[in-house]
Amino acid sequence: MKITDFLIIFFILYVPTLFYIEAKAENTQTFVELNQKHENSMTVAAQDAVNVLRTNVIPKLEVGYDSYKINPVDPQPAIDTFLQTLALNYQVNDSVTVDMMSRYIPVFAVVDYDGLLLNVYQKYTNEDREQELDRVWLPKIPFSYNDDEGNIINFTIDEDIEVYDVQLNEWFEGKRSELVQEVTVPLLNNETDFEQIRKRTIVDTLQENIAFYINEHNVYTKYLDVTYQFMMPLIAEEDWYNTVDDVSILAFFQGYPYQMADQVYHEYAFVGTRLHKKESIVAGMVDGQKRFWYESCNYPYVADEKYPNKKSAAAAGYSELSCLNP
């Protein structure tokens, strides 16, 4: 056989393989880029949503927990902003497609000061007494712990608690350090044990309820014209524990299809964005005006002063520079 015959056989057998390998490599790179875009879009959307929460959560917490209980946070603007930013990042500008994107968000969660708020799809009876399937906010789920003696502790993301003392048959409210002398609940006696149980209770509440409602979303996929099988993603314990000391947003966006040749891109992204309710206020001169803003806004302006809250900054003659509308 001539050398030219070997070359012809080589090209017939191996060149298509090389083209196939190159095409697969290009596809892999495309998927990596899509995945990065997917996660970046989620992160930006969650950050915008938490900035909306910041405008009405922090002022209430600065007044105190009692005021916060009377005027709790309204989470609806957060999910509205989340969807708007997500749609913008995906270059979606029609309501029909935005509604379709929403169907791939099985759970939108807000870790509130004293409980878990979940926005999910549910069937309910509307004003016309007809069954309707739509996104709804569930009643707040408390961070509740029961000890072996029957005592009940409702935790918050800091030291404020509600305690039912079974021996005294009475409810108490306040900080652990204040109630330890008033109640007979053993857990309050040890600050280290208290913190461990508080964090574990909040994480358990998140994991159990989010997993349940992500799974329940599969009941409605037929009606939502979605074929993806939703399930709880594997998330590191450290990520869960990062949510227990601050108001946070946990968003799940799963199975949104990216059509690429004969393949469909399916992936999920988990985003936890903290509110930083205890962060300091910084202040300085901005365009010749005395302004104050939250450090997390990451403005390039020089900060000359630092204050514990808005009230103190305003008393010093500064006006607010919002993270949302600089």
Q: Which residues lie below 8 Å from residue 150, measured CB to CB, with a gap of 6+?
A: 166
Higher model confidence: residue 243 or residue 23? 243
Please check whether residues 195 and 285 belong to one and the same domain: no
Q: How many domains, the chain?
A: 2
140 pLDDT more than 50: yes
Q: Which two tokens stand for residue 293?
A: 């803003």
Please check whether residues 214 and 237 belong to one and the same domain: yes
Taking all residues of the chain, what is their mean pLDDT, rounded to a whole number? 81
Using alpha carbons only, give the angle 200, 50, 145 rounded to the nearest 5 degrees.
Answer: 20
Higher model confidence: residue 291 or residue 46? 291
* 97: containing domain: 3-278
Summarize pLDDT for 88-104 with one digit per residue, the tens. Answer: 988 888 889 899 999 99
In the prediction, which pLDDT does 91 show?
A: 86
* Burial environment of residue 14 by CB neighbours within 10 A (0 to 12, 13 to 18, 19 or more): exposed
Please check whether residues 200 and 307 belong to one and the same domain: no
**Mean pLDDT computed over 224-228:** 91
Q: Which residues lie below 8 Å from residue 214, measured CB to CB, with a gap of 6+?
A: 106, 107, 230, 231, 232, 252
Please check whether residues 63 and 29 belong to one and the same domain: yes
Please check whether residues 244 and 303 belong to one and the same domain: no
Please check whether residues 297 and 273 belong to one and the same domain: no
In the prediction, which pLDDT does 262 show?
A: 45
Q: Among 20-34, 85-99, 170-184, 256-270, which range has the highest average pLDDT?
A: 170-184
In the prediction, which pLDDT does 16 show?
A: 57
Please check whether residues 134 and 203 belong to one and the same domain: yes
Using CA atoms, how far apart are residues 292 and 172, in angstroms rounded to an integer? 38
Please check whether residues 176 and 228 belong to one and the same domain: yes
Please check whether residues 197 and 67 belong to one and the same domain: yes
Q: What is the DSSP string of 215-260?
A: HHHHHHHHHHT-----------HHHHHTTTTS-EEEEEEE---EEE
Please check whether residues 223 and 256 belong to one and the same domain: yes
